[in-house]
Amino acid sequence: MLCLKARAKINWTLDILGVREDGYHLMDMLMQSVALSDTLWMEKAEALTLEEVGRPAYRLREKDHLSSGSVPFDQRNLVYKAADILRSHVGLPLGARIQLEKRIPSGAGMGGGSADAAAALLGLNELWELHLPMETLSKLALRLGADVPFMLRGGLARVGGIGENLTPLFPAPKVWLLLLQPCDGLSTKEVFSAFDSIPPERLARPQTAVAQEALLKQRLPDLAPAMNNVLEGVSVQKRPALRVAKELLEGLGALRAMMTGSGSVVYGVFADEKSAVQAFEQLPPHEGFCAVTCTEDSGVNKKG
């Protein structure tokens, strides 16, 4: 049986450079994998099945967003779609029993579904002995979502186009983070639609080149002012709790706090693990997801 850890991601920067004729947004982002991950187990079987394993170790505000009611465990799940795309590509009715344990919060901007899809592509390529090269898997990945090509490789990367242009960056630093989800998840489609109505001069754009150099040289004080996410303003308007969470994290000692993706997780950047843990312990009572994690130099991680 194969076991894979599907790591989440954060955006150090997120900028939108334009919109293609087909409606897809042209991105310029710095993204990095983090230790927080979902787990997938896979074994050969006659049919293709996807099962939920365990229950989430936390509950989000008002309702459990990680139950099967929010994350479908059927043909709508990206894991199932990834398996279907692989089967169609090779033209074989292959089967597998896939079990998925969710730990990445839903609607968070951390790429949980994309991470699972990437792990499914890599794992099933091995399980079914397809021997498809990474280039082919990356093309299939883009059909599943803009973040999936990055999730296949993980680590630290500059990401452009609609997610297909990846420039891996080395060495990927280990940075300690405190994650906080202060509200219900946000619809990515809704956030991007609202973004399109904002005049460009009103956007707080990141200094992506500066942030990239700061990360590679592991200079967190230089990184903090260069970070920005152009979707943050729209998401804060829809969920004011995001601004409160940012202020809370910076009040607890974060060098910078920022929303990842289109939300709704905010992360604080800390100088070291001790500082992040101390901030975690000082958080006021909170019903939503919160966790200490760190950045990683790879995405999907095979266990055992």
- Structure confidence by residue, pLDDT tens digits, 147-163: 999 999 999 999 999 99
- Residue 149 and residue 205 share a domain: no
Q: Are residues 128 and 196 in the same domain?
A: no
Domain boundary among 116, 141, 169: 169
Per-residue pLDDT band for 102 (boundaries 50, 70, 90) equals very high
Instruction: Over range 225-244, report the average pLDDT.
Output: 96
Domain of residue 139: give its range. 2-169
Q: Mean pLDDT over residues 37-49, rounded?
A: 96
161 located within any domain: yes
- State mean pLDDT over 170-179: 97
Q: What's the pLDDT at 65?
A: 35
Catalytic-residue membership of 28: no
Query: How many residues belong to the chain?
Result: 304
**Alpha-carbon distance values, 246 to 9, 191, 251, 259 (Å):** 18, 19, 8, 8
Query: Catalytic residue among 5, 9, 102, 246, which?
Result: 9
**Is 232 found in the same domain as 285?**
yes
Q: Is 9 a catalytic residue?
A: yes
By the 8 A CB rule, do 45 and 96 touch?
yes
162 and 228, same domain (yes or no): no
Specify whether 162 is located in the same domain as 195: no
pLDDT beyond 90 at 74: no
Residue with tokens 């804060």, as numbered in its chain? 236
Report the distance separating Cα 93 and Cα 141, nearest Å.
20
Number of domains composing the chain: 2
- Residue 18 shares a structural domain with residue 126: yes
Among 19-23, 69-73, 181-185, 272-276, which is the least confidently predicted range? 69-73
Asked if residue 157 and residue 14 are part of one domain, the reply reads: yes
Residue 186 sits in a domain whose CATH number is: 3.30.70.890
Asked if residue 127 and residue 16 are part of one domain, the reply reads yes
For helices 112-127 and 78-90, the axis angle rounded to 10 degrees is 40
Are 182 and 154 contained in the same domain?
no
Dihedral angle sign, alpha carbons of residues 124, 130, 136, 140 = negative
Kindly name the residue from 15, 102, 147, 246 that is annotated as catalytic.
147
- Asked whether residue 250 falls in the same domain as residue 284, the answer is yes
Residues 204 and 115 in one domain: no
**Mean per-residue pLDDT over the chain, rounded:** 92
**In this model, does residue 39 exceed pLDDT 60?**
yes
